[in-house]
Amino acid sequence: MKTNLLNFDLPGLTRYFDEIKEKPFRAKQVMRWMHLAGVNNFTDMTDLAKSLRAKLEAKAEIKVPELIVEQKSLDGTRKWLLNVGTGNGIETVFIPEDSRGTLCISSQIGCALECMFCSTGRQGFNRNLSTAEIIGQLWWANKALGVTPKEERVISNVVMMGMGEPLANFDNVVTALNIMLDDHGYGLSRRRVTVSTSGMIAQMDRLKEEMPVALAISLHASNDQVRDRIIPLNRKYPLKQLMAACERYLVKAPRDFITFEYIMLKDVNDKPEHAHELIELVKNVPCKFNLIPFNPFPHAGFVRSEQGRIKIFREILLEAGFVVTVRKTRGDDIDAACGQLAGKVQDKTKRQQKWQLVQGVS
């Protein structure tokens, strides 16, 4: 079986070239070809000796996920369903804005955390994505948008907020992040690469030491009673422990605040008393809030909070001195909005069948 070079960051690629008895500087050359130039074959790597190109052709490959379908939203959002084998597909979303272009990347096929308000979580879980499958989404998006990273940058920001819990696939995600940040890769700033987690505390501490990028927490509740219900992981890592981990992370974070994502669910977490609980909860954590109107999906069991209630919730937080944004829903006409990504998951957990049986859904 050939070795997929997209699985390697620069240190890994350097070790690979040492193993095949080639000079270490070749790793930088090949990495620039793959990521800066967007090349996925060895023939076009014209500054490599023909003998090296032939050796790589025999031993290695540059394999990216294949496109299944592309969708374009009326608001300019683009979503790609990419084939990752054995009947599985992952979704990647590009969101263009006036001042930046953000790519939302998946880290797993499905998700094992079962957050109740998330369509991905309802699909079950198959496996972690490889580094090649993670970074291949960025590689593919650059191609689809008609640019290579060495040209004018269209993708200025990357958020690990697609399918899956990034920190549950720690090693492969960190290697992919290393490629994103490397000047021989995509040259992105730590401040412009964000990992979103539901609160895997041990892995947050590891990320702080190994790859401190911007951090977003899928908070979505102001107390343990509500969070236990909608985010089962909270039963293992309750809010007091999560806040302490956020304080530790900020010691090395590239930004001086944590972003707390908070999905607005009618009559679940959107009352004024919840806003006041939040203020008390995060009092020791420099942060900003991103309020997210719930994006419905079939048989979700939740309803989006009314605009008036979201406004009141926001004003309470603003009056307490917090920076608060309300996320503009983008791409919901192609199911590309937050919480709507589902992909194609060959569910090993049988969660879909169990849930449908309990709910009486046909």
CATH code: domain of residue 245: 3.20.20.70
Contacts of 188 (CB under 8 A, 6+ apart): 156, 157, 158, 180, 181
Among 29, 61, 93, the domain-final residue is 61
My answer on whether 10 and 154 are in the same domain is no
Structural domain span for residue 31: 3-61
My answer on whether 55 and 85 are in the same domain is no
Residues 138 and 35: their CA atoms lie apart, in Å, by: 9
Number of domains observed in the structure of the chain:
2
Among 39, 61, 83, the domain-final residue is 61
My answer on whether 308 and 224 are in the same domain is yes
Among 61, 86, 101, the domain-final residue is 61
My answer on whether 149 and 38 are in the same domain is no
| Active-site amino acid positions | 91, 338
My answer on whether 130 and 163 are in the same domain is yes
pLDDT of residue 344: 60
CATH of the domain at 36: 1.10.150.530
pLDDT of residue 277: 98
User: Residue 85: how many CB atoms within 10 A of its CB?
Assistant: 12
My answer on whether 33 and 167 are in the same domain is no
pLDDT of residue 350: 56
Residues 4 and 334: their CA atoms lie apart, in Å, by: 32
My answer on whether 16 and 114 are in the same domain is no
Supply 320's token pair.
């307490």
My answer on whether 54 and 140 are in the same domain is no
Note if the pTM is more than 0.85.
yes
My answer on whether 27 and 85 are in the same domain is no
My answer on whether 157 and 53 are in the same domain is no
pLDDT of residue 353: 52
Q: Is 43 left (phi over 0), alpha (psi -120 to 50) or beta?
A: alpha
My answer on whether 20 and 145 are in the same domain is no
Torsion of the alpha carbons at 33, 36, 37 and 40, rounded to the nearest 10: 60
The H-assigned helical ranges of the chain are 10-19, 25-31, 50-59, 119-122, 131-144, 170-181, 201-210, 224-230, 239-249, 272-281, 307-319, 351-359
My answer on whether 76 and 196 are in the same domain is yes
Q: What is the mean pLDDT of each run of 10 residues along the chain (362 residues)?
A: 97 97 96 94 95 96 92 88 88 90 93 82 84 96 83 88 94 98 96 97 98 97 96 96 98 96 96 98 97 83 92 98 84 50 56 48 41
Of 361, 283, 292, nearest in space to 328 by CA: 292
